[in-house]
Amino acid sequence: MIQRMPPTQTFDEVIQDALAKFEATPDYKEVGRVKTTVSGLPAIRVEGAWTSEKTGTMAQALRLAIVEHDGVRDVVEVTGTCAGAQAKEIWTTVRAIQDSVELVK
């Protein structure tokens, strides 16, 4: 997903908005957060999981990056999701897919 940022919005506010959505999910637990880069641009990786009666345990990896160009800023969000039982087997693949994203200004 790509979304234009308001001129006064900070990257920290973008992160807080994303975290608020995660934290609003019943039984959500964050399992990791690290500042990183995507294509050399500032980014953050947030990973978490939750359990519900309908879906069982779900794991989700969120990568957010900011692209500044032509006087504007866009937030690029790359999300990977899998069933909790799959996470041990495919989590390195989810991260590799997110790591492979190339952003161009």
Query: pLDDT tens digits for 5-41?
Result: 998 999 999 999 999 998 999 999 999 999 999 998 9
Bridge partners (DSSP) listed for residue 69: 72
> Alpha-carbon distance 95 to 62, whole Å?
10
What DSSP character marks residue 101? -
What is the distance, to the nearest Å, from the Cα of residue 30 to the centroid of all Cα atoms in its chain? 12
pTM given for the model: 0.86
Q: What pLDDT shows up at residue 79?
A: 94
Can you say whether the dihedral through the CA atoms of 51, 52, 53, 58 is positive or negative? Answer: negative
